[in-house]
Structure 1
Amino acid sequence: MSNRTTTVTTWSLEQTSPGDLVAVQEPDSASGIRIVRAEVPSPEFSRFLYTAVGGDITWLDRLPWPYETWRAHLTRPGVETWVAYEHGTPAGYIELEAQDEGTVEIVYFGLIPAFRGRRIGGHLLSYGTARAWDLADRWPDLAPTKRVWVHTCSLDGEHAVANYERRGFRVFKTESEEQPEAAPPGPWPGAHA
């Protein structure tokens, strides 16, 4: 185990009105790109998406979650997973979570490495952000959305902050801290061995 540390910068970004969203043009039907809500809570599928997208960028916080923790999280009112597919293959996802007083967090967003750089991310972020703004339409017990926010860090993709800003998010907080260096685990044990 290394005692080395690295400086990690985290940016928190927000939109405070549906009019803030700068959507990208939807891909044409020939692209085979479609975005579908995973309406049946599935810990197995959600963990697959989490490890497939975050395995090379050090997403570690949910790796120790047991099945019941995944299930409890996914069945909470206002938690939604929207999955981007390319010709039937999962390409990435965006997870939304309703919070207090009309706030919705984009908890996770990203693409599986093989699908990055193919112009899917902007569309998925646009679509998912629009779903955050209309979340109360699908969950009538929730307050209407007044704010959508997300955080990203320097361990995520190098274009993450710029992608959020192009979609109309504004940085409202920047923090830096020293963290122990951690090797990305990859999508399965030993993937980076």
Structure 2
Amino acid sequence: MTLIPAGTEVSFITTYLEMRARPDFDVPALPDDTRLEQALRPPVWFFLAVYDAVGRDYEWRDRFQQEIDDPDALRAFVESPAIEMWVAYRHGWPQGFFILDWTEPGECDLAYFGMVPEAVGHGLGGTLLKAAIAKAWAREGVKMMSVNTCELDHPRALALYQKHGFVPVNTEKRTRVLYRDRDPSRLPA
């Protein structure tokens, strides 16, 4: 076990990716026992619950800090008509989610994408990513889609985005103080 204790400052690389051409697939069929639902006018607590369930192991803390520092900005993000939150359910509970952000004209940012730990490795992630991509490009006027990931995210995230057509366009070195103990051996490469 290679535990990195909470409170440790770590360096990591964030990779920014883009997709500049519509892919040649439609929204894929999900497994029969899985449904994808748009969260219509979700309350902030629901967004934060799913955000935490997916991002807890990857140091997704920014929105919790925003809830403390500027709750009105967080509420404006969640309630914005330019934001769509989609949740995949299996067996009655969320398996993963994605958020599409159309704030910039002609662009769709895949602002969040991920699976809860119990759903990782069961084959749903790639299908859910294809659904997010297809839904983004289905909107009139989209000319580009973007996403970013970092070395604190799942170790296969960057390769998954590239496999589905995203191309790296920039990287940035950052640091963060870990909020929780981090055990990289728990995240299968």
TM-score in terms of structure 2 length? 0.82
1:5 to 3, 9, 14: 9
Residues 1:89 and 2:93 are matched in the alignment: yes
Distance in structure 1 (CA, Å) of the matches to 2:163 and 2:155: 14
Could you tell me whether the CA contact under 8 Å between 1:37 and 1:80 is conserved in 2? yes
Amino acid at match of 1:92: G
Could you tell me whether the CA contact under 8 Å between 1:22 and 1:167 is conserved in 2? no
Residues 1:107 and 2:111 are matched in the alignment: yes
Could you tell me whether the CA contact under 8 Å between 2:96 and 2:115 is conserved in 1? yes
Cross-structure match for 1:183: 179
Tell me the CA shift for residue 124 of structure 1.
Answer: 0.9
Give ranges in structure 1 of 5+ residues lacking alignment.
Answer: 137-143, 187-193
Cross-structure match for 1:191: none
Distance 1:2-1:90 versus aligned 2 partners, 3 A rule = closer
The C-alpha deviation readout for 1:128-174, integer Å capped at 9, x for no partner, is 111111234xxxxxxx1110000000000000011111111111112
Matches within 5 A, 1:23-42: 26-29=29-32, 32-42=33-43
Cross-structure match for 1:57: 58
Distance in structure 2 (CA, Å) of the matches to 1:65 and 1:74: 12
Distance in structure 1 (CA, Å) of the matches to 2:7 and 2:152: 18
Query: 1:92 is paired with a residue of what secondary structure?
Result: strand
Tell me the CA shift for residue 114 of structure 1.
Answer: 0.9
Distance 1:135-1:42 versus aligned 2 partners, 3 A rule = farther
What is the aligned length?
A: 175
Cross-structure match for 2:187: none
Distance in structure 2 (CA, Å) of the matches to 1:170 and 1:24: 21
Cross-structure match for 1:174: 171
Distance in structure 2 (CA, Å) of the matches to 1:82 and 1:3: 33
Could you tell me whether the CA contact under 8 Å between 1:57 and 1:184 is conserved in 2? no
Cross-structure match for 1:128: 132
Query: 2:154 is paired with a residue of what secondary structure?
Result: coil
The C-alpha deviation readout for 1:22-73, integer Å capped at 9, x for no partner, is 67953441xx122111122321211111111111110011002335433211
Query: 2:147 is paired with a residue of what secondary structure?
Result: strand
1:156 to 153, 158, 163: 153
TM-score in terms of structure 1 length? 0.81
Q: Which runs of 4+ in 1 moved over 6 A?
A: none
Amino acid at match of 1:183: Y
Give ranges in structure 2 of 5+ residues lacking alignment.
Answer: 183-189
Could you tell me whether the CA contact under 8 Å between 1:6 and 1:180 is conserved in 2? yes
Could you tell me whether the CA contact under 8 Å between 1:23 and 1:123 is conserved in 2? no
Cross-structure match for 1:139: none
Query: 2:126 is paired with a residue of what secondary structure?
Result: helix
Distance in structure 2 (CA, Å) of the matches to 1:51 and 1:185: 15
